[in-house]
Amino acid sequence: MMRLRAVAAGCAAAVLAAALFASCSGIEGLKTRAASVTLEKAIAAGTTTAETKKLLELCRDIAAFSADRYGLEAQAEAFRYLPGRGDGMAWRLTVAPAHSLNDSRVSYYTDKAAAERAARKSEAKGKSAFVEPWDSLGFLGLAPTPLTDSLSRLSYDRLVEWINRELFSAALPKGLSPAERDSFAAFAAEAATKDYLAAKLTLASPLLGNYISSKRDERTFALLFPDFRSRIENLYAQSPFPQDWQKQRDFLMKTWLQDYRLNYPNRFITNLYSDFGRVQPSDAELASWREQQPGYEDWNKRYAAAGSDLRVLLNQMGNP
């Protein structure tokens, strides 16, 4: 009976925490939207700098292309601009228990200092924490994410990809799971980016070629990383737990990374992942990793079956 009560109390606490997060996110989302302005108003404003105006006009052009080709007019018109955010949109904090890559907790912040304070607090309790930039405000219920000056840090091809990911994510039916939503949006954004670059440049453009190669490298890395992570997971799963675990962890990482760097030229086309492991990742960083293009092969098959037409595939998502 005591255990049942404890479980019930734990479930109640989890529900309360989720409700509190949803409430706070809703309020923060409303504040963010109130602080943003329509894209057209931002472009026309006399206070908008020339650099920001150029960025917003490019974003508008990218969105207009996808609106016309894929039927995303409503989503393109919903883009807004949030001024005063040049240091990043948000930050993602992953906290992992001591000697574990499982049961990690993830939270999102719109303030970097707050994320770092939370990370230091977790580390003081013996946990591992990792803070990373996050380029979407979807966790606030905002879709598409408002444009900010921080987007100027993206390369041309990655800006096109970001705009399309936000458009397709906003266009998907509400009933989809977050995992399926993210998976489709990532696939559609890649396909749409190729379409845009081919139309605006040429099929032989070096930029398009590099983009295709970098996406291929993302999938290659996704195949390799689970093996790297599993070695540390297996170490932590030992019973009894080894006293020299830190020494073993360092050795496992070192040997895997040596092989990784030795075979890098044979596996990768670009330098996208050439610096991976130069600084050994913490447990929280290992736990935070997520595949950039989950379910790519399945989506590619569905895309081909839809006549390689994203508009058709998107319509199928709403009519399974």
Q: What is the pLDDT of residues 134-171, one digit of tens each?
A: 999 999 988 899 999 999 999 999 999 999 999 999 99
For all residues of the chain together, what is the average pLDDT?
Answer: 91
Report yes or no on 143 lying in a domain.
yes
Question: Of the ranges 18-22, 64-68, 116-120, 261-265, which one carries the lowest mean pLDDT score?
Answer: 18-22
Other CB atoms within a 10 A radius of the CB of residue 123 amount to 14
Report yes or no on 280 lying in a domain.
yes
Name the nearest CA neighbour of 302 among 183, 215, 195, 222.
183
Same domain, 26 and 129: no
Same domain, 260 and 292: yes
Mean pLDDT of all residues in 17-25: 47
Same domain, 201 and 286: yes
Report yes or no on 119 lying in a domain.
yes
Report yes or no on 4 lying in a domain.
no
Report yes or no on 162 lying in a domain.
no
pLDDT digits (tens, 9 = 90+) for 28-86: 878 888 889 999 999 999 999 999 999 999 999 999 999 999 999 999 999 999 998 88
Q: Is the pLDDT of residue 300 over 60?
A: yes
* Tokens, residue 268: 């990768």
Give the CA distances from residue 55 to residues 62, 63, 91, 288, in Å, rounded to whole numbers and listed in that order: 11, 12, 22, 31
pLDDT digits (tens, 9 = 90+) for 180-215: 999 999 999 999 999 999 999 998 999 999 999 999
Share of the chain above pLDDT 70, in %: 91
**What does pTM read for this prediction?**
0.89
Phi, psi of 94 (to 5 degrees): -115, 130
In this prediction, residue 26 has a pLDDT band, given cuts at 50, 70 and 90, of low
Residue 275 domain boundaries: 172-320
pLDDT at position 99: 96
pLDDT at position 2: 32
Same domain, 146 and 211: no
Report yes or no on 190 lying in a domain.
yes
Same domain, 122 and 142: no
Helix (H) or strand (E) holding 63: helix 50-70
Same domain, 43 and 177: no
User: Helix count (H) and strand count (E) of the chain?
Assistant: 13, 5
Same domain, 105 and 213: no
Same domain, 113 and 208: no
In this prediction, residue 21 has a pLDDT band, given cuts at 50, 70 and 90, of very low
Same domain, 215 and 290: yes
Report yes or no on 12 lying in a domain.
no
Question: Of the ranges 32-41, 42-51, 119-128, 306-315, which one carries the lowest mean pLDDT score?
Answer: 32-41
Residue for token pair 């398009």? 208
pLDDT digits (tens, 9 = 90+) for 270-283: 999 999 999 999 99
Higher pLDDT, 3 or 238: 238
Number of domains present in the structure of the chain: 3
Q: Is the pLDDT of residue 132 over 60?
A: yes
Same domain, 148 and 31: yes
Other CB atoms within a 10 A radius of the CB of residue 235 amount to 18
Report yes or no on 147 lying in a domain.
yes
Same domain, 316 and 271: yes
Same domain, 35 and 128: no
